[in-house]
Amino acid sequence: MSSEKKRGAYIRPDIESLPAYVPGARPPAGVTMTKLSSNENPAEPAPAVVETIHRVAEQINRYPDMNVTDLTETVAAHYGVEPANVALGNGSVALLSHALTALAIMGDEVVYPWRSFEAYPIIAQAAGATSVRIPLLEDFSHDLDAMAAAVTDKTRAVIVCNPNNPTGNVIDRDTLMAFIDKVPPTVAVFVDEAYQEYVADARYAFDLADLPRYPNVLVFRTFSKAYGLAGLRVGYCFGDARLISAVRTTSTPFGVNAIAQAAAMTALAEQDVMTSQVEEANAERERVVAKLRADGWDIPQTVANFFYLPIGEDAAQLAADGVAEGVLIRGYPGDGVRVTVGNRAENDRLVEFLGGYAPNSSTRR
């Protein structure tokens, strides 16, 4: 047998170097742990959402609506845009990937902040593009001037993560729009707003009324976080009809399953439940962050359902110690640790665990 046959099918050489997405740690089977590693909503879904899931489950022998018509129209009406300006997908990260697939070819560039969402380098390289990572400023905010300066003739997209994952800080609308105005109109700007519902001030979100003025902008949001549908995977994005059509064209057929479509429609209707859960999460975030800062932890300003501990080389060890003690947090080796805001009991357990490592602790490990 020839060496060619032994090797098997051809695989793109760059796929071997593709960074793997590392999800938040999961508890071992049968072990109860405090899971604060995946930025999940700790509250149970609204009863109406659960009822919808049970009802639609009886019909899963049928294919879902491939065009996600009802949910698209519902999202469009809720946000005051046209259905042609909305695309739905299997989570916002899938939509980001579809958008880059539509825009980039081998040798093109994608500019984004770093550290930021770990999927960005993956989807950029998978699309054949080259990542251009712009380091965050000392306060862990986007270096927007450097990002604008990094745009070249090869740039196909610039990504803004707002609030930024994993640091939690946010860019105000005026600053964001001033940055977008610096980007050439032939370059797409992706505004990733996965955690926007946690931002109490609307002045820190992209104003969808501005979409007609910016045909190069796509705004990404999700039902996974504040709406509590992480296990069903539903994301959506807004943009110019031409861009949205390209995203839909490159999307996987039947990418949003029937249960997810129906549950998202119900969740969107249950605004009071979502708002209440967000308010509770924000209050818990402020309580926990205040306590940890009092213990000496350096925590950047955050408006999301998580916060960041920039502890550098100690990050991997702290995350590993958390696993050993039943507290799952998200470590970024060499950089820091991201901690999800859980319910009160989970957060109290977290504070207890971190107390042994607090800079001001007399019993610091």
Q: Where do we find the tokens 């859980």? A: 342
**Bridging pattern class, strands 217-222 and 235-239:** antiparallel
Q: Is the pLDDT of residue 40 over 80?
A: yes
Provide mean pLDDT across the span 172-188: 98
Residue 115 is predicted with a pLDDT of: 98
DSSP string covering 329-343: -EEETTTEEEEE---
CA-based end-to-end distance of the chain: 59
Residue 301 is predicted with a pLDDT of: 96
Instruction: Name the more confident of 360 and 70.
Output: 70
Average pLDDT, the chain: 95
Give residue-wise pLDDT tens across range 302-361: 999 999 999 999 999 999 999 999 999 999 999 999 999 999 999 999 999 999 999 876
Residue 44 is predicted with a pLDDT of: 94
Q: Is the pLDDT of residue 45 over 60?
A: yes
Provide mean pLDDT across the span 155-160: 99
pLDDT > 70 in the chain, percent: 95
List Cα–Cα distances, 265 to 78, 83, 95, 344, in angstroms.
Answer: 10, 15, 18, 29
Provide mean pLDDT across the span 135-147: 98
Q: Is the pLDDT of residue 3 over 60?
A: no
Residue 20 is predicted with a pLDDT of: 77
Provide mean pLDDT across the span 5-21: 78
Provide mean pLDDT across the span 64-77: 98
Residue 78 is predicted with a pLDDT of: 98
Provide mean pLDDT across the span 276-298: 98
Residue 332 is predicted with a pLDDT of: 96
Residue 365 is predicted with a pLDDT of: 62
Give the pair of three-digit tokens for residue 179: 């940055």
User: Which class is 47-269 in CATH?
Assistant: alpha beta
Q: Is the pLDDT of residue 2 over 60?
A: no
> Residue 347 — φ and ψ, nearest 5°?
-65, -35
Q: Where are the alpha helices (DSSP H) in 35-168?
A: 47-57, 69-79, 92-103, 119-126, 144-149
Give residue-wise pLDDT tens across range 81-118: 999 999 999 999 999 999 999 999 999 999 999 999 99
Contact 226, 268 (CB under 8 A): no
List Cα–Cα distances, 162 to 96, 139, 175, 179, 206, in angstroms.
Answer: 14, 15, 12, 13, 9
Domain boundary assignment for the chain: 22-44+272-355, 47-269
Question: Worst-scoring range by mean pLDDT, 30-34, 55-59, 297-301, 340-344?
Answer: 30-34
CATH architecture of 22-44+272-355: Alpha-Beta Complex (3.90)
